[in-house]
Amino acid sequence: MCGVSGIYAPRFAPVDRAAVVRMTRTLVHRGPDEEGFHFALGIGLGHRRLSIVDLASGQQPLCNEDRTIWVAFNGEIFNYLELRRDLVARGHQFSTSSDTETIVHAYEQFGLQFVEHLNGQFAIALWDERARRLLLVRDRVGIRPLFHATLPCGDLLFASEMKALLAHGALQAELDPVGLAQTASFWVTVPPRTSFKGIEELAPGSMLIVDNEGRRTLSQYWRHRFPDANDYEDRPLDYWVGETRQLLHDAVTLQLRADVPVASYLSGGLDSSIISALVKRFHKTDLRTFSVSFADASFDERAYQQRMAHYLDTLHTEIDVDASAIGERFSDVVWLAERPLMRTAPAPLLSLAGLVRRNGIKVVLTGEGADEVFGGYDIFREDKIRRFWAREAGSAWRPLALSGLNEFVRRDAKMEQLWREFFRKGLEQVADPFYSHRLRWEGGAAMRRAFSGELRAQMPDEPQLLEDLSAYLDPDRDRWHPSCRAQYLEMTLFMSCYLLNSQGDRMMMGESVEGRVPFLDHRVIEFAARIPPRYKIRGLNEKYVLKRAFADLLPREIVERPKKPYRAPIVSCFLADKDNLAAELLRRPALEESGLFNAAGVDSLLRKVTNKGVASERDEMIIATVASTQLLNHHYIRARSPRRTVVADCTGERVELT
């Protein structure tokens, strides 16, 4: 894993070499091992390396034989050995053993279609000297981040993280009200929008081409698609089970390729247990596993983690975190994530990555993506129940469906009544394209009210936000089965725009650790999309195919254990008695000084939850959003402004190397 950055100055303009160096060095946490640059007329590429494959000769930026194609990339090409053999057979000559070199030769051989031959997780900057064009390419589901911004003079800046773009000196960080409104409504910013004005995120599965005149072509080379609702293959369950098992076997085998030790995470749930079991099967040495445990028993899963570690006979290490530790780390989390966060869940994962790194491990396999790909979240089951309630208004099975969703319903009459009220909402709106997620997004209005009146006045209204979101999504999704539409929204928004970055890439790379996600091998995703919905959620039994495929590798209590979402404490991390930066920025004087929030309203909310000792999920999310936005403002606007030189154009030192 690595960090990339650079500048493209069209029309043969010289590039500010010092700026590329500054940008690249802000990414040292992504690549502490080596640094490299390539400068030529109109282009500057920078790279920070975390060496994992071909430790001796895999330095970047890397070029082809005649030095006309250069690449700097962040990520891994897992099928590089197979691709290399194919390219050598076609006459290409390699000078290294790295996966990076397969990119330049694949581009020579296949042109713009080269990316279709890559199995991996990547953010690529490729410079074609002959064609005088720059390609920016991001992997299919957005495992690795890539951002860009255009200066008034036409120069294009690009980097793995937005902080590198801001280090150039010609951009001033300014929070984007539209990005904040999207976060309040959908929990994420929708690409190309980001938290900062003037900075865009390259969407997953996209390629941006910039030619020598500065003209840009943005294309989508991959989309996550499902069959039409009545167009599923008529195959028995055993077929889907067997193919799932074989594909995931192969994905794990490919993702174990590395010239450094590889470990895995154990959360205590089904997904990480499957990955760890497969890694153990193929691993050549004793497997190391890592997990996070919580001092608060309501969040803790160590009993299941230890059960699985003992079952697999791994060398297991865990880190215990409490509310104080989460509050302390939350400032670092926001600096790394570069966006408002509605949860504190990334903070323990940052601490976990630090534990991994201190134990000499650079690569970790995780179970991320299984819930989205195979139908594991409660939101999918809730959608199924609500549609049943809407369809069968008088059915006696309606209350029984609730007890199948949540074990507490069976023994708590008050909880049953709350669930009944929840599932009665919006039953007449089943044709709504966002039906599965509407109830989740209901809190958006309350979230927006936490912002100051001045900021709210700059935010789009809900119809405009939904219109913009619809333009980003697949236009054919209304033809898909309702369960698939729900999966698609969860993958495209929450997974790709939040989980993979704010809880994945950013937290791991913050401690110089590479995370790999076998469930998000594009072959697994594409195959799982073909599985009939009735086999993903059997009744209300989530991830049914996945459980059937790997039941023989796991203890029964892990396979049959109800899904427990990964969460972390929120309010207790930021109470007035806590001594951390987030708690300080939540105090009324700090809120008034920033001008971003309704200080009186937020202060009232904090006093309410402090006095009660508990908070609703919506209140907790508002508090986390306010705290993280305050931190974002502190790190990137207030604290950084004295050290940032703001210029109106691209003037400054220029260095031209050929």
> Which DSSP letter does residue 287 get?
P
According to the model, what pLDDT value does residue 446 have?
Answer: 86
Domains and CATH numbers, the chain: 2-222 (3.60.20.10), 571-638 (no CATH)
Task: State the average pLDDT over residues 297-323.
Answer: 95
According to the model, what pLDDT value does residue 498 have?
Answer: 95
Q: Which residues contact residue 348 at a Cβ distance below 8 angstroms, ignoring those fewer than 6 apart?
A: 292, 294, 319, 321, 325, 326, 329, 568
pLDDT tens track for 333-353 = 999 999 999 999 999 999 999
Residue with tokens 């789009």: 460
Q: How many angstroms separate the CA atoms of 178 and 94, rounded?
A: 47
pLDDT tens track for 548-568 = 999 999 999 999 998 888 999
Instruction: Report the percentage of the chain scoring pLDDT > 70.
Output: 90
Residue 651 — pLDDT band, cuts 50, 70, 90? very low
Least confident of 268-277, 292-301, 379-388, 640-649: 640-649
Locate 57 and state its tokens.
Answer: 């000769």
Residue 80 — pLDDT band, cuts 50, 70, 90? very high
What's the mean pLDDT when you consider all of the chain? 90
Smallest Cα–Cα separation from 100: which of 132, 68, 59? 59
Task: State the average pLDDT over residues 440-469.
Answer: 92
pLDDT tens track for 187-220 = 999 999 999 999 999 999 999 999 999 999 999 9
> Which DSSP letter does residue 608 get?
H
> Which DSSP letter does residue 573 get?
G
Task: State the average pLDDT over residues 290-299.
Answer: 94
Task: State the average pLDDT over residues 627-650.
Answer: 67
Strand-pair category, 133-138 with 216-220:
unpaired
According to the model, what pLDDT value does residue 649 have?
Answer: 34
Locate 616 and state its tokens.
Answer: 């609703």
Instruction: Report the percentage of the chain scoring pLDDT > 90.
Output: 78
Q: In what order do the strands lie in the sheet with 315-321?
A: 315-321, 288-294, 262-265, 363-365, 514-516
Task: State the average pLDDT over residues 518-540.
Answer: 96
Q: In what order do the strands lie in the sheet with 62-63?
A: 62-63, 69-77, 120-128, 133-138, 206-210, 216-220
Task: State the average pLDDT over residues 571-582.
Answer: 85
Q: How many angstroms separate the CA atoms of 354 and 359, rounded?
A: 9
Question: What b/e string do you get for 536-548 counting C-beta neighbours within 10 Å, with b at 16 or more?
Answer: bbbebebbbbbbb
Beta bridge mates, 117? none
pLDDT tens track for 229-242 = 999 999 999 999 99
Q: SS3 string of 383-414?
A: HHHHHHHHHCCCCCHHHHHHHHHCHHHHHCHH
Smallest Cα–Cα separation from 264: which of 369, 367, 122, 376? 367
- Can you give the pTM of this predicted structure? 0.92
According to the model, what pLDDT value does residue 418 have?
Answer: 53
pLDDT tens track for 381-431 = 887 877 766 665 655 555 555 555 555 444 455 545 555 555 555 555 666
Task: State the average pLDDT over residues 363-379.
Answer: 94
What is the Cα Rg of the chain in Å? Answer: 25
> Residue 121: pLDDT above 90?
yes
Residue 579 — pLDDT band, cuts 50, 70, 90? confident
Task: State the average pLDDT over residues 639-651.
Answer: 38
Q: Which residue has the higher pLDDT, 629 or 611?
A: 629
According to the model, what pLDDT value does residue 51 have?
Answer: 86
According to the model, what pLDDT value does residue 90 have?
Answer: 97
Q: Which residue has the higher pLDDT, 50 or 247?
A: 247
According to the model, what pLDDT value does residue 403 have?
Answer: 55
Element at 341 (helix H, strand E): none
> CB 525: neighbour CB atoms within 10 A?
19
What are the φ/ψ torsions at residue 56 (nearest 5 degrees)? Answer: -80, -35
> Residue 650: pLDDT above 50?
no
